[in-house]
A and B are shown apart, each in its own frame.
Chain A
Amino acid sequence: MKVQCRLFASLREKVGAKEKLLDLPRGARVSDALASLGLPSEGSYILLRNGVHAELHEPLSEGDVLSVFPLIAGG
């Protein structure tokens, strides 16, 4: 199944891309997507699945957009 990953801030340099289309096996979870991106799952991220906060163990679906941010803040 195809999952579109969007990367932000320092993760762009880490992964070497702003976006990546991943082809993952059915039933894959958010943590599997991170692994395919080469990002350690014990790192601190803010994860949004289709714009809504997601957990590492959450299963993904075909066509999902996964946005991955390092911990950031501002205001």
Chain B
Amino acid sequence: MAGWMGRVVRVDLSSGEIRDEPFDQDVWRRFLGGRGFGAKVLWDELRPGVDPLSPENRLIFAVGPLTGTTAATSGRGSVSTKSPLTGTITDANTGGKFGVIFKKAGLDALIIQGKAPKPVYLLVSDEGIQIKDASDLWGKNTDETTDLLLEREGSRASVACIGPAGENLVRYAAIINEKHRAFARGGVGAVMGSKNLKAVVARGLRTVEIADKERMKFVTYEANKWLRAHPITSKGLPEFGTSVLVNIMNEAGIFPSYNFRQNMFEFAEEVSGEAITEKILVRKDGCWGCIIQCARRTRIPGDEGEGPEYETNWALGPNCGIHDLEIITRANYLCNRLGIDTMSAGGTISCAMEMTELGYYDAGIRFGEGDKLLEYLKKIAYREGIGDELAEGSLRFATKHGHPELSMTVKGQELAAYDPRGAQGQGLAYATTNRGGCHLRGGYLIGRELLGVPRMIDRFSAVGKGSHTAILQNLGAALDSLVVCRFASFALNEIVWGRLLTAVTGVKYDPEDVLEAGDRIFNIERMFNVREGFSRKDDTLPRRLLEEPAPMGPTKGRVVELDRMLDEFYEFRGWDSNGVPKPETLRRLGLEECLNG
């Protein structure tokens, strides 16, 4: 089979049974792979109301038809599950090389269910799949675990593992691969921990069959030419990394700080991409086969690692009132070793800081306390003292102490580094993500509202944002299912992705087919959430963003005009006024499985 490997394996950790599943080509054509395949499995198999940390939940590692091919940025991997942080469907996407090696082991997807009686890891290789004892690894951080497993399984393997945070069921624990890369958001690491699964180790040498090699050569050449010519993918991203956004977001007055109390940060320059380049950069780096190379290899006194990327930098820095780049970087490395999502960790600690500052609850930490931040990250991972409460995420923490409005979350997941009061579309995007607060799954409206790609639209206007948001959500869902990097899409559009997909699989995908697949995936995810009880009432934003006018700079005086945008968005999507996909919409997308659900 071309593009797909044609193999899906199910592992039941409770019984120890490992078996091949029938490979349904029609499903893979409709849902592509990665995030799309994960959503389909979760829709088909999860009974509503299942506790995400129970053995019944599924954890699905999946790659896509483009993974491991010459297609640009195809070195990525995806994992899907029901999130213990939000209760919604979630997926997380990682760079590095894990996804590619997983595919070279001969698999498109691994569906994991049940709970092992004692700690185990899974070896997924082209010689077979085994459940192996991990008792000696339990308690170890991700660096140590990775080193030990590479020693055991060979240096050509790739390790995706959890750290103490995942073991201790921190609701925003991550899965870390190759030490520095993360399936970061939504608590996927906690789901892994709940199954007593310490790691998935991939190893293999298979190659991906290409349907039309000549055509693939040509389309790859063309796509790479675009990437090399486009100022963002050839210069902007590689030269200064993602943190280059710090200054522009700050100048535009949409760079949140102090738990979104401010929409600008007085010390932005100190944590900018320019400062990273000057002070801590060792070299640029990148995922398997990627010519963009946006990652940063960095060094601080006594330690070396990767990052901080823009979102991490902001979440652990300015949003906590911290501007010491060395501390932020150290906190980033620490999160990777403990296996925690940097964004939710930062957003939870910033919430605790504000609760303390306002005298609502003394969490023992205030804005700007960098050394304490490091200490608190450890407390969270080990659920020690106050860390036990903070491990539940900002919404549960703030609600428990009577102030849910101080949790800067959507559907319980912490927001990203853009204040939507100065980018209305991004506000709508945040409110309507299927995995809760996220700048990517909701649609990266910032691209259009601030960065002018593919063209600039009025960021202060609430009109017309429904369609922009829905289209970006659909494209994003398709890219996460192919599985490729969002950054490539600054230069490449659905026409190019359609051509690559056609050349690889031999199945004809026009640009509209790519977008329609994304639409289908977004809608099945939405149906999953609807079945769990989510609706319009959950498509909302923290009160601060809806009611408190932004206090500073060019965005001063504005709030997000959400209701207007929501109506337009639902209409465009073919959802009813409560945010439920209409039967005719499901039929149009060929989602018959959702009609009686």
The smallest beta-carbon distance between B281 and chain A, in angstroms, is 14
Once the chains are docked, how many angstroms separate the CA of A44 from the CA of B234? 13
Q: Could you tell me if A73 and B236 are in contact, using CB atoms closer than 8 angstroms?
A: yes
Nearest residue (CB) in A for B490 is A73
Q: Which of B243, B440, B447, B451 has the most CB of A within 10 A?
A: B451
Once the chains are docked, how many angstroms separate the CA of A25 from the CA of B425? 38
User: Residue A51 contacts which of B242, B251, B274, B439 (CB distance < 8 angstroms)?
Assistant: B251
| Interfacial residues of chain B within 446-470, with CB under 8 A of chain A in the complex | 446-447, 450-453, 456, 459
Q: Which residues of A contact B553 (CB under 8 A)?
A: 51
Once the chains are docked, how many angstroms separate the CA of A45 from the CA of B555? 21
Q: Does B403 contact A (CB under 8 A)?
A: no
Q: Does B471 contact A (CB under 8 A)?
A: no
Once the chains are docked, how many angstroms separate the CA of A10 from the CA of B231? 11
Q: Which residues of A contact B440 (CB under 8 A)?
A: 75
Q: Which residues of A contact B456 (CB under 8 A)?
A: 53
Q: Does B237 contact A (CB under 8 A)?
A: yes
| Interfacial residues of chain B within 238-288, with CB under 8 A of chain A in the complex | 239-245, 247-248, 251-253, 273-274
Once the chains are docked, how many angstroms separate the CA of A73 from the CA of B231? 10
Q: Does B310 contact A (CB under 8 A)?
A: yes
Q: Could you tell me if A70 and B236 are in contact, using CB atoms closer than 8 angstroms?
A: yes
The smallest beta-carbon distance between A37 and chain B, in angstroms, is 16
User: Residue B240 contacts which of A51, A52, A72, A75 (CB distance < 8 angstroms)?
Assistant: A72
Q: Could you tell me if A72 and B451 are in contact, using CB atoms closer than 8 angstroms?
A: yes
Once the chains are docked, how many angstroms separate the CA of A69 from the CA of B245? 10
The smallest beta-carbon distance between A8 and chain B, in angstroms, is 5
Q: Which residues of A contact B534 (CB under 8 A)?
A: none
Q: Which residues of A contact B311 (CB under 8 A)?
A: 75
Once the chains are docked, how many angstroms separate the CA of A12 from the CA of B245? 15
Q: Could you tell me if A9 and B486 are in contact, using CB atoms closer than 8 angstroms?
A: no
Q: Does B397 contact A (CB under 8 A)?
A: no
Q: Does A15 contact B (CB under 8 A)?
A: no
Question: What are 6 inter-chain pairs, A to B, with CB distance below 8 A?
Answer: A9-B274, A10-B240, A71-B236, A71-B453, A72-B244, A72-B248
Once the chains are docked, how many angstroms separate the CA of A4 from the CA of B519? 46
Q: Could you tell me if B245 and A75 are in contact, using CB atoms closer than 8 angstroms?
A: yes
Q: Which residues of B contact A73 (CB under 8 A)?
A: 232, 236-237, 245, 447, 451, 453, 487, 490
Given contacts A8-B274, A75-B440, list 5 more A-B pairs with CB under 8 A: A8-B247, A10-B240, A53-B459, A71-B235, A75-B446
With contacts A9-B236, A75-B245, A75-B310 taken as known, whether A51 is within 8 angstroms of B554 at the C-beta atoms is yes
Q: Could you tell me if B439 and A75 are in contact, using CB atoms closer than 8 angstroms?
A: yes
Nearest residue (CB) in B for A55 is B456
| Interfacial residues of chain A within 35-75, with CB under 8 A of chain B in the complex | 44, 46, 48, 50-53, 67, 69-75
Q: Which residues of B contact A74 (CB under 8 A)?
A: 237, 241-245, 273, 294, 309-310, 487
Q: Could you tell me if B248 and A8 are in contact, using CB atoms closer than 8 angstroms?
A: yes
Q: Which residues of A contact B453 (CB under 8 A)?
A: 71, 73
Q: How many residues of A contact B (CB 8 A)?
A: 20
Once the chains are docked, how many angstroms separate the CA of A15 from the CA of B403? 49
Q: Does B444 contact A (CB under 8 A)?
A: yes
Q: Which residues of B contact A29 (CB under 8 A)?
A: none
Once the chains are docked, how many angstroms separate the CA of A9 from the CA of B251? 13
Q: Which residues of A contact B241 (CB under 8 A)?
A: 74
Q: Does A2 contact B (CB under 8 A)?
A: no
The 8 A CB mask of A3-26 against B (1 = contact, 0 = none) is 000101110100000000000000
Nearest residue (CB) in A for B452 is A46
Q: How many residues of B contact A (CB 8 A)?
A: 41
Q: Could you tell me if B252 and A51 are in contact, using CB atoms closer than 8 angstroms?
A: yes
Once the chains are docked, how many angstroms separate the CA of A53 from the CA of B254? 13
Q: Which residues of B contact A51 (CB under 8 A)?
A: 251-253, 553-555
Once the chains are docked, how many angstroms separate the CA of A6 from the CA of B244? 14
Q: Which residues of B contact A46 (CB under 8 A)?
A: 248, 450-452
Nearest residue (CB) in B for A12 is B274
Nearest residue (CB) in A for B243 is A74
The smallest beta-carbon distance between B383 and chain A, in angstroms, is 31
Nearest residue (CB) in A for B236 is A72
Q: Which residues of A contact B416 (CB under 8 A)?
A: 75
| Interfacial residues of chain B within 210-247, with CB under 8 A of chain A in the complex | 231-232, 235-237, 239-245, 247
The smallest beta-carbon distance between B59 and chain A, in angstroms, is 25
Once the chains are docked, how many angstroms separate the CA of A69 from the CA of B244? 10
Q: Which residues of B contact A53 (CB under 8 A)?
A: 450, 452, 456, 459
User: Residue B252 contacts which of A6, A44, A48, A72 (CB distance < 8 angstroms)?
Assistant: A48
The smallest beta-carbon distance between B455 and chain A, in angstroms, is 11
Q: Could you tell me if A72 and B245 are in contact, using CB atoms closer than 8 angstroms?
A: yes
Once the chains are docked, how many angstroms separate the CA of A67 from the CA of B239? 19
Once the chains are docked, how many angstroms separate the CA of A62 from the CA of B379? 53
The smallest beta-carbon distance between B272 and chain A, in angstroms, is 8
Once the chains are docked, how many angstroms separate the CA of A72 from the CA of B219? 25
The smallest beta-carbon distance between B199 and chain A, in angstroms, is 28
Closest 7 CB pairs of A and B: A51-B554, A74-B242, A72-B236, A71-B231, A74-B245, A67-B251, A73-B232
Nearest residue (CB) in B for A69 is B248
The smallest beta-carbon distance between A49 and chain B, in angstroms, is 9
Once the chains are docked, how many angstroms separate the CA of A9 from the CA of B235? 10
The smallest beta-carbon distance between A75 and chain B, in angstroms, is 6
Q: Which residues of B contact A44 (CB under 8 A)?
A: 231
With contacts A46-B451, A52-B554 taken as known, whether A6 is within 8 angstroms of B251 at the C-beta atoms is yes
Once the chains are docked, how many angstroms separate the CA of A72 from the CA of B252? 14
Once the chains are docked, how many angstroms separate the CA of A74 from the CA of B312? 12
The smallest beta-carbon distance between B312 and chain A, in angstroms, is 11
Nearest residue (CB) in A for B310 is A74
| Interfacial residues of chain B within 422-456, with CB under 8 A of chain A in the complex | 439-440, 444, 446-447, 450-453, 456
Q: Which residues of B contact A6 (CB under 8 A)?
A: 251
The smallest beta-carbon distance between A57 and chain B, in angstroms, is 15
Nearest residue (CB) in A for B273 is A9
